Amino acid sequence: MAKTAKETPMMQQYNAIKEQYPDAFLFYRLGDFYELFNDDAIKGAQILELTLTTRNKNAENPIPMCGVPHHAAQNYIDILVDKGYKVAIVEQMEDPKQAEGMVKRDVVQLVTPGTKFGTQADAKENNYITALTQTPQCFGLAYADLSTGEEKVTTLMESEEVFNEILNLQTKEVVVDSSVDSEITEKLAKLGILISHQAAAITPQAEVSFLTQTITDTTQLQVASQLVSYLTLTQKRSLAHLQEFVVYEPMRFLKMDHNSRYNLELTQNIRTGKKQGTLLWLLDETKTAMGGRMLKQWLDRPLLTQSSIVKRQMIVAGLLENYFERTAIQNDLVKVYDLERLVGRVAFGSVNGRDLIQLKTSLEQVPKLRATLKTLPGDVFGPLVELLDPVHEVTELIATAINEEPPLSITEGGIIADGYSEQLDQYRDVMKNGKQWLAELEAHEREVTGINGLKIGYNRVFGYFIEVTKANIAKLDADRYERKQTLTNAERFSTPELKEREALILEAQDKSTELEYRLFVEVREVIKTMISRLQALAQGIAELDVLQSFAVVAETYHFVQPTFTTDANLAIIDGRHPVVEKVLGRQDYVPNDILMSPDNSIMLITGPNMSGKSTYMRQLALIVILAQVGSFVPATAATLPIFDQIFTRIGAADDLISGDSTFMVEMGEANNALKHATPASLILFDELGRGTATYDGMALAQAIIEYVHQNVHAKTLFSTHYHELTELAEELPGLKNMHVGAIEQDGDLVFVHKMEDGPADQSYGINVAKLAGMPDALLTRAEVILKHLEQQGSATTLMQVTNHDEVVVEKPVVAESIATTVQQPDDNATDLQLDLFADTTVDPKQQAIIDELKEMNLAMMTPLDALNKLFALQQKL
Q: Known binding site for ATP: residues?
A: 607-614
Reduced to 3 states (helix: H, G, I; strand: E, B; else coil), residue 456 is strand
Strand pairing report for 455-459 and 194-197: unpaired
The DSSP secondary-structure symbol of 62 reads P
Contacts of 12 (CB under 8 A, 6+ apart): none
Torsion angle, CA of 413/414/418/419, rounded to 10 degrees? Answer: -30
Closest listed residue to residue 149, CA positions, set 250, 225, 228, 253: 228
Strand partners, 649: 685
Contacts of 783 (CB under 8 A, 6+ apart): 766
Closest listed residue to residue 754, CA positions, set 623, 636, 613, 584: 613
Closest listed residue to residue 391, CA positions, set 410, 370, 418, 405: 370
Contacts of 390 (CB under 8 A, 6+ apart): 363, 366, 367, 370, 537
Question: Residue 13 is which amino acid?
Answer: Q
The DSSP secondary-structure symbol of 710 reads I
- Residue pair 620/684 in contact by the 8 Å Cβ criterion: yes
Q: Sort residue 101 into left (φ over 0), alpha (ψ -120 to 50) or beta.
A: left
Closest listed residue to residue 452, CA positions, set 472, 470, 474: 472
Burial (CB count within 10 angstroms: exposed 0-12, middle 13-18, buried 19+), residue 701: buried
- Residue pair 562/639 in contact by the 8 Å Cβ criterion: yes
d(CA 466, CA 464): 7
Instruction: Report angle CA 276, 277, 279 to the nearest 5 degrees.
Output: 100
Contacts of 464 (CB under 8 A, 6+ apart): 438, 456, 457, 458, 494, 498, 501, 502, 505
Binding residue ranges: 607-614
In order of 425, 432, 516, the CA distances from 502 in angstroms are 19, 13, 21
